[in-house]
Structure 1
């Protein structure tokens, strides 16, 4: 007896299609037509942009090689959008201070992306006239290599999901990939990323596979683009990249279990006409049990939308909580001034005076106190910087 699904389905629909993984070297990629075509396109683009110039080789020169990096760019549903081959130089064969002195990488900051998304959402920067889009691309293509990608769907591994009052930035597919990579796709979920107990058993034994630890922590660090709730604990794990222990690996698995339980979480952005910048700062005074340094943290909002956040350990030890709070206030003040400069550069009008929020009275009083005491000499530079910005 044939079932309905069996009788109606063609034989090809019952066969499984296995997609090979990304090539790891030129020898593997050159066997496939799609990769050969993309390598030709990449190489011709490098020649067209005059990326390099050929000169005679000298005995004193450190000639470095190149390698191909192959990646499949996928859509939000997991299907392949296009193949991408990139020719990169083996910069790790160079010696800083001898082969090069300065480095420059023209990459956009995640903060800038979130700020522009917030502005585009609130201002309705959507061009529906196809003729106008074609005209803009034609004008810009004379200076830049540009193409129309349509409405935002999946970019940099981040999915944009439309909501009633805005969008949701989600990295759910990326989170699933991380869990599958470490074999924790079906692990038991946790409700918190870190233990709420003050005393946590610690093992000084080094973890047997530090490369795996560094790879997963780096993946979690990229996940903080849309998950500010992971910033603090991921920052703690990043401090032990050089020599991770068994305890650090256990903490890392606890975070992965928390990711499993919050895999639907993302960053919500709402439509709003507000151009007000609000910044909140705080610090965990002497919170590190190893060196008793403080940890600074801040969050910056443009209207109702969270566009920037940072959590990092302070470089120096402070003897009182006010100094730690004031250092965090100085960091967020510099961040806000940069955002104001960016908004003015892209011609955004209606920007109100930014507001800084701090829960430490001592740090607030220092903003208006003209007398500098001996106990606060070590924060003198931060003091004058914040006070000048408040006064202006």
Structure 2
């Protein structure tokens, strides 16, 4: 009988192509031609920028010993060990850390594989900041701030990363993380003039539309932004050999409370790491991540920029110390912009006290967010609504009478009541079935 295999007829197969293996150590990178070529380019950039001066080993300074330990007189760094992450923000500052002169003397051993063979015992005296140096980030950021201020930018006191530039006709916004910059504005020509400013002391590189920033993937559409960490989750599952695991609708078991008293002590403490991978709750999280890897935050264009918050708490959710879990979420229009799920630091005597402490945490977050929005010229004209499913908590916030049962939470009490009295905050009751913040305090069903 003539079969397809005998006739040489086979079904086409799709093979998965993967990126080259990423070296895990500096020595592995040195023997890889692609990585070595990249490091050579970086090394030549260091030489062109006069980053260091080769000097004889000072007798009063002791560099690291054979074990790599350092003493108080030594700052040692490896020049080429840090390879820049392949993030794709809007802008990138080329060789950012090399733009700032150092104010103190820093000595560095010659990088392995890039030694000067004529003077192998000499060391580098750094003239400018360098990647991996403790001083580098601050030195670079200080120079960048001074430049932006001369260009008319302002920095918010609430957050040092965003910078704003206003004029009568337009606005320019920058978000800075080390040497990666996101930029947007009301006038595209104004944005372009900033990027390609010939008077800029920095070499800015335009990386096009935003697709990835700090490990977060960005999908842009006409009126929405979708943020997710799909690629990061897939890599995480691969490291834990869970790519083929079954899916789970929720990250944890419903109604399950973990305690340090459960289970038995391990006879060999070194088995802990391998045992953790077999725990049911750990597998449950990974199984949930696999099914939800493409889920993320959706930001929609909206005419409404009103802040609205939700608070919730799970009383005595930790059986070992009877402490509780408090959570909140904050929306700007329809968009979730801030959230928290935290084990509280003190034991709450009642569910009212517990939710009141969660309310205080949300109120502090609201004050911070409002400070940022104020710089963006976004003001709240009406009292901010906070939804709580505990009627006693809402009554306590609105009642300006002193109660003996709440005297031990006096600071939080006055902080919240002050905001309510100033008409900045309005606490409203909502049914537990409508409580959005419920997912931040306990495991709940997916339906």
| Fold match (TM-score > 0.5) | yes
Task: Determine whether 1:385 maps to 2:445.
Answer: no
- 1:331 is aligned, of 361, 385, 394, to 361
* Count of residue pairs the alignment pairs up: 315
Task: Determine whether 1:191 maps to 2:249.
Answer: yes
Q: Which one is further off, 354-363 or 162-171? A: 162-171
Q: Aligned equivalents of 1:174 and 1:282: distance in 2?
A: 30
Q: Aligned equivalents of 2:22 and 2:222: distance in 1?
A: 38
Aligned twin of 1:37: 41
Q: RMSD of the alignment, in Å?
A: 4.3
Aligned twin of 2:21: 20
Q: Aligned equivalents of 2:349 and 2:10: distance in 1?
A: 76
Whether the 8 Å contact between 2:88 and 2:207 is mirrored in structure 1 is: no
Task: Determine whether 1:87 maps to 2:131.
Answer: yes
Scaled by the length of structure 2, the TM-score of the pair is 0.59
CA deviation string 1:197-251 (max 9, x = no partner): 4477942435746568xxxxxxxxxxxxxxxxxxxxxxxxxxxxxxxx7599431
For the residue of structure 1 that corresponds to 2:132, the secondary structure is strand
For the residue of structure 2 that corresponds to 1:380, the secondary structure is helix
Whether the 8 Å contact between 2:226 and 2:299 is mirrored in structure 1 is: yes
Aligned twin of 1:231: none
CA deviation string 1:301-331 (max 9, x = no partner): 0000001100001100011111100000000
1:76-225 equivalences in 2 (<5 Å): 87-89=131-133, 129=188, 131-139=189-197, 142=200, 146-163=204-221, 165-198=223-256, 202-206=262-266, 208=270
Whether the 8 Å contact between 1:70 and 1:84 is mirrored in structure 2 is: no
Shift, 1:75, TM fit: 6.7
Q: Which one is further off, 23-32 or 177-186? A: 23-32
Instruction: Say which one has the larger Rg.
Output: 2
Aligned twin of 1:353: 383
Aligned twin of 1:112: none
1:252-291 equivalences in 2 (<5 Å): 252-291=282-321
Shift, 1:264, TM fit: 2.3
Q: Aligned equivalents of 2:405 and 2:49: distance in 1?
A: 59
Whether the 8 Å contact between 2:400 and 2:417 is mirrored in structure 1 is: no
Shift, 1:73, TM fit: 1.3
Q: CA, structure 1 residues 200+26, in 2 after alignment: closer, same or farther (shift >3 Å)? A: closer
Shift, 1:142, TM fit: 3.4
Shift, 1:174, TM fit: 1.0
For the residue of structure 1 that corresponds to 2:219, the secondary structure is strand
Q: Aligned equivalents of 1:22 and 1:361: distance in 2?
A: 57
Scaled by the length of structure 1, the TM-score of the pair is 0.67
For the residue of structure 1 that corresponds to 2:365, the secondary structure is helix
Q: Aligned equivalents of 1:300 and 1:145: distance in 2?
A: 38
Q: Aligned equivalents of 2:305 and 2:419: distance in 1?
A: 19
| The structure with more helix, counted as a fraction of residues | 1
Q: CA, structure 1 residues 3+354, in 2 after alignment: closer, same or farther (shift >3 Å)? A: same
Aligned twin of 1:309: 339
Q: Aligned equivalents of 2:213 and 2:226: distance in 1?
A: 13
Shift, 1:192, TM fit: 1.4
Q: Aligned equivalents of 1:166 and 1:18: distance in 2?
A: 30
CA deviation string 1:153-178 (max 9, x = no partner): 11112111234641211211111110
For the residue of structure 2 that corresponds to 1:300, the secondary structure is strand
Q: Aligned equivalents of 2:51 and 2:213: distance in 1?
A: 27
Q: Which one is further off, 25-34 or 274-283? A: 25-34
Whether the 8 Å contact between 1:24 and 1:70 is mirrored in structure 2 is: no
Q: Aligned equivalents of 2:229 and 2:238: distance in 1?
A: 14
Which ranges in structure 2 are unaligned for 5 or more consecutive residues?
1-6, 53-57, 63-70, 98-129, 136-158, 163-172, 175-183, 423-447
Shift, 1:27, TM fit: 7.1
For the residue of structure 2 that corresponds to 1:205, the secondary structure is coil
For the residue of structure 1 that corresponds to 2:282, the secondary structure is helix
For the residue of structure 1 that corresponds to 2:361, the secondary structure is helix
Q: Aligned equivalents of 1:251 and 1:196: distance in 2?
A: 11
Whether the 8 Å contact between 2:327 and 2:339 is mirrored in structure 1 is: yes
Q: Aligned equivalents of 1:45 and 1:310: distance in 2?
A: 44
- 2:82 is aligned, of 69, 89, 95, to 69
Whether the 8 Å contact between 1:281 and 1:298 is mirrored in structure 2 is: yes
